[in-house]
Amino acid sequence: MSSTRSQIWKQIRNIKSYFVKKVTVSDVNQQENGLVFHLTLKNFWTPIKNISVTVSEGEMKKPIPYQILNKQHLTIHLPEASLNEIENRLKIQLFINGQPMWITVSDDFSMNAASGILLGGKYMMTRVDRSILLYRKFGELKFHADSLPVTGHASGYSRLVLKIGKPLFSDSPDQSVQVYAFQNHKLRILDCLLVSDDCIEITDFTALSLGTWRLFLQCRGMLHPLETDGIRKTEFNSFNHAVALMNQYGYACLSMSAHLFKTDSLLFKLSNDSIQVKVSSDPKKVHPLLQVEDTMTQQTSDYPTHQWNNGFAANIPIKDLAANFSIKRFFIVSGEKTPIKQQFSLERKALSGDFAFEYVIDCQQTRFHFYVRKDGSLGLTAKRPDIRKRITAISDFKLSGYVGNFLGFTNCKAYLLFQERESLQWIRVPVDGNFEVDLKQLDLTSLKSRDKTIIDLFVEIINSDGQTVRKEKIRYSKSDYHKDNYYDSHFLHDSEGNLHYYLVTTTPFNNTKIETFAVPANIELNDEGAIKDRNIWLIGERTDTAQDNGIVLYHWLRENTDIEAYYVIEKDSKDYKNISDDPNVLEFGSQEHYDISLKAGVLLGTHDLENILPFKTARGFFHYEDTYKVFLQHGVLGRKNVEYHKKFYDVPFDLFIVSSDEEKEEIVMEEMGYASGEIAVTGLARFDRLVQNEPPKDILLMPTWRDWINTDQQFLESEYFSRYVNFINNPDLNNLLREHNIRLNFYPHYRAQDFFERNINLEHSQVNFIPFGSRKVQDLLIEHALLITDYSTVSFDFIKMKKPVIYYHFDDERFFRKGILRPIEDTFIGRIAQSEQEMVDLIKDRIDHHFENYDVDISGVIKYHDQRNCERIYHAVLKGLEQKPAAAIQHY
């Protein structure tokens, strides 16, 4: 029956797809008079009465020519004049019968040379996302209109000599030259030597990844496109790649492809604590090395091989394969004077023997599986046993659920772990199979390190030696995530008369947690906030900071208005001492904090308002729902898919502050569900303080956090940790900094501070560690000439000051696993690197250019470039208060 029902639904979906109109881009061609896009129309069953095509940039919008070939094909012509006018981004939209069309790419679509277009001295990229978009990239570079003919004059191992069609510096042969390589939005600079006035030599290709790179020659400050005649093809090897100088659409390009090691058979044999890998090959060849690469850390290990009847073999310790429980890749490194790294080229049937086996690692029956990857190379997965676990019911302050499937664990027991987030104090409750835990019987109060805190729930597997083998959060199967709601609650008085509230809630990932706050015995609740005063504004950021939009707006309100503004912060935070002399600064959880929290008619926070109230932000708690709630933000939205959507609140924000019309319309309205009148385009308050008085010199490294890291062990084993440790210890980087007398100041995310500070050695480094709270973030941004980050929105502050930003994107797929709000081209304004070497090269480039900013346009990200952001926020709140029904917000 279920099979029949599935078939019926499949047929229904097929019928529906038959009526869905589709517009796809099938090809794009660059012509002398502009670009021509070829589109395919499908499922247009009703007559097409009218068509219009527009191109727009900012406020400018105008029609462009098109040609309808038949009911299924359409061409759009973007004239060269429109391309010459581009400053940042052109948007091409198609309207059929008055309706905007959603444009995608066809399955066989390839951008080819059009992915990087050079026209009129501008380098542009095309992308298709609902509409056709053209971006101007590398605007700070000067492109010459004339091409230089080039041929591969000589080549060898990691060596290419290019012969230019005409002398470059006949008058001054000691001029420096560089080769620039472009691949879509990527740029790599290849150092080269001027062999003669018409020959250059390139000897380092490590910066180039797989794929095709278009070449330009930089001399006398201009980039000359290189072209070949398409007749000769020069091929040679580097360690990582087979390289070919080739012609592609008239352009001189370097094609980088992997070296392949073809074999008909791989035999795996498990022996004690190692696995033997036998590779069939010509036994007369010199024994190569078998190299194993950890895809998480990018670290490699080499294993010697020995002769085997039909080839060679290597022994790999199983503990090495289990490291990080990450995917491993395998390569062959052959040759001595000219070594090359070869990627296996396999068919699925090539694997035999123990290519899938089990082995106990850390008391866990771990499943190892060698497999053929999509590209034909050899990979391995190491999978630990799954733990079946769920909270299935929450009632009467009891948790019901199950924890099972322990067959994969040796001499282990399972516990439900209740751990306070700040102090890490815990209570363990043994579980086995189905369970019911009465939370009222647990001394949760003993875990609390502060009045308002969070207790996380984990399943912990412990071996017979008392060591933690696994620790994972446990989900609630009926989770309905809302930030300002809860599934069950309980309250009690302790021996000192303090009133403790406990509320069971979930995280955005549906993990179970307990939120708790306490009303101290000495606190008088008065009328419990039944009447709110619209002239009292309570402001804050995170509970422990005073460095962001909150404190800047607070100071502006105190200096420029008669608003009774208050700022709340924890007394033990590092920022508290800087503002504690202000009588309107409230200590979190104090009597004064409670008094103001109950009276304040306006709440303004950079994060969720949990951070500025001593109680739960939920309907029914001290008339929270009767306040006017303003989200000041702590950055510019557009990157990570954050959980501030209107649907995640029972009582959502009344006013949402943004920095541009695009952020308002494309993100907060379209993605997050807020109405136009609930959003104000003002700019962030902290932008008012971004004033560059003295020329900066040093470099600031400021990465953000990874939300999938939950324990110390996970952090120390993470790619995140290893990447940044390797980067700050990179000898080329430190030599470069030392040569130019530049410091790189490392300011990690507050959640990563302790880990890095305890586990890195900077004694002989040009890198300086900045402890959290020792400096204000805004001061750091002002004092540095170059910012290196990964995904942090502080980059927008830096760009606003017209300074360059470099982004380190080694894990972008995982970071944006829940989606990205804007295309990468729109939001990561500067340069992006995926590898450590690319980072060093980009830093060197900016140092050589005296930290000159890249030529970028941020009008689509930040609308206003003045120091009146606080003023606009203030008037937006007043306007919102006038429009809000006055049923609960009143004057005294």
Token representation of residue 789: 């980050």
- d(CA 1, CA 18) in angstroms, rounded, equals 26
Start-to-end C-alpha separation, the chain: 67
Give the domain 532-687 fold.
Rossmann fold (3.40.50)
Among 78, 70, 77, smallest CA distance to 41 is for 70
Q: What is the pLDDT of residues 266-315, one digit of tens each?
A: 999 998 899 999 999 876 667 799 999 998 877 899 999 998 888 999 99
- d(CA 222, CA 138) in angstroms, rounded, equals 13
Token representation of residue 384: 């630990």
Q: Are 803 and 696 in contact (CB under 8 A)?
A: yes
CA distances (Å), 722 to each of 190, 586, 717, 729, 768, in order?
27, 40, 8, 11, 18
Q: How high does pLDDT run on average in the chain?
A: 88
Tell the burial category of 212 from Cβ atoms under 10 Å away from its Cβ (0-12, 13-18, 19+). Answer: buried
Among 327, 332, 355, smallest CA distance to 343 is for 332
pLDDT of residue 890: 44
Q: What is the DSSP letter of 827?
A: H
Q: Which amino acid is at 292?
A: V
Q: Which amino acid is at 756?
A: F
Q: Are strands 328-334 and 378-383 parallel, antiparallel or unpaired?
A: antiparallel
Contacts 24+ apart (CB under 8 A), 430-437: 431/403, 431/459, 432/403, 432/404, 432/406, 433/402, 433/403, 433/404, 434/400, 434/401, 434/402, 435/399, 435/400, 435/401, 435/402, 435/403, 436/398, 436/399, 436/400, 437/398, 437/399, 437/400
| The CATH number of domain 263-383, selected from 3.30.70, 2.60.120, 2.60.40, 3.30.200 | 2.60.40
Check pLDDT > 50 for residue 792. yes
Check pLDDT > 90 for residue 540. yes
Q: Is the dihedral of CA 557, 559, 562, 566 positive or negative?
A: positive
Domains 23-136 and 263-383 share a fold: yes
Sole residue written with tokens 């070869």: 342
Q: What is the pLDDT of residues 394-431, one digit of tens each?
A: 999 999 999 988 889 999 999 999 999 989 999 999 99
Q: What is the total residue count of the chain?
A: 892
Confidence class of residue 454 from pLDDT cuts 50, 70 and 90?
very high
Please state, as a whole number, how many other Cβ atoms lie within 10 Å of the Cβ of residue 787: 24
Check pLDDT > 70 for residue 159. yes
Q: How far is CA 492 from the centre of its chain?
A: 42
Q: Where are the alpha helices (DSSP H) in 657-730?
A: 661-662, 712-716, 719-728
Q: Are 414 and 430 in contact (CB under 8 A)?
A: yes
- d(CA 771, CA 44) in angstroms, rounded, equals 62
Q: What is the DSSP letter of 446?
A: G
- d(CA 43, CA 71) in angstroms, rounded, equals 10
Q: What is the pLDDT of residues 171-211, one digit of tens each?
A: 555 567 889 998 877 888 887 888 888 889 998 898 888 88
Q: What is the pLDDT of residues 331-361, one digit of tens each?
A: 999 887 899 999 999 998 999 999 999 999 9
For the segment 504-523, the average pLDDT, to the nearest whole number, is: 93
Please state, as a whole number, how many other Cβ atoms lie within 10 Å of the Cβ of residue 866: 10
| Whether this model's pTM surpasses 0.85 | no
Q: Are 113 and 251 in contact (CB under 8 A)?
A: yes
Give the chain's radius of gyration (CA, Å): 31
Q: Are 680 and 668 in contact (CB under 8 A)?
A: no
Q: What percent of the chain has pLDDT over 90?
A: 54
Confidence class of residue 888 from pLDDT cuts 50, 70 and 90?
very low
- d(CA 118, CA 146) in angstroms, rounded, equals 11
- d(CA 581, CA 567) in angstroms, rounded, equals 12
Q: Are strands 532-540 and 889-890 parallel, antiparallel or unpaired?
A: parallel
Please state, as a whole number, how many other Cβ atoms lie within 10 Å of the Cβ of residue 199: 16
Q: What is the DSSP letter of 550?
A: H
Architecture of the domain made up of 148-258: Sandwich (2.60)
Q: Rounded to 5 degrees, what angle do the CA atoms 453, 455, 456 make?
A: 135
Q: What is the pLDDT of residues 549-570, one digit of tens each?
A: 999 999 999 999 999 999 999 9
What are the backbone angles phi and psi of residue 207, rounded to the nearest 5°?
-75, -15
CATH entry 2.60.120 includes domain 23-136: no
- Per domain, the residue ranges of the chain are 23-136, 148-258, 263-383, 421-513, 532-687, 693-848
Token representation of residue 373: 């990857």
What are the backbone angles phi and psi of residue 790, rounded to the nearest 5°?
-115, -65
Q: What is the DSSP letter of 724?
A: H
Confidence class of residue 861 from pLDDT cuts 50, 70 and 90?
confident
pLDDT of residue 110: 62
For the segment 850-866, the average pLDDT, to the nearest whole number, is: 85
For the segment 525-532, the average pLDDT, to the nearest whole number, is: 71
Among 699, 744, 743, 754, smallest CA distance to 721 is for 754
- d(CA 582, CA 557) in angstroms, rounded, equals 14
Q: Are 830 and 861 in contact (CB under 8 A)?
A: no
Q: Are 230 and 152 in contact (CB under 8 A)?
A: no
Which residues make beta-bridge pairs with 70? 73
CATH entry 3.40.30.10 includes domain 693-848: no
Q: Which amino acid is at 264?
A: D
Q: Are strands 398-404 and 512-519 parallel, antiparallel or unpaired?
A: unpaired
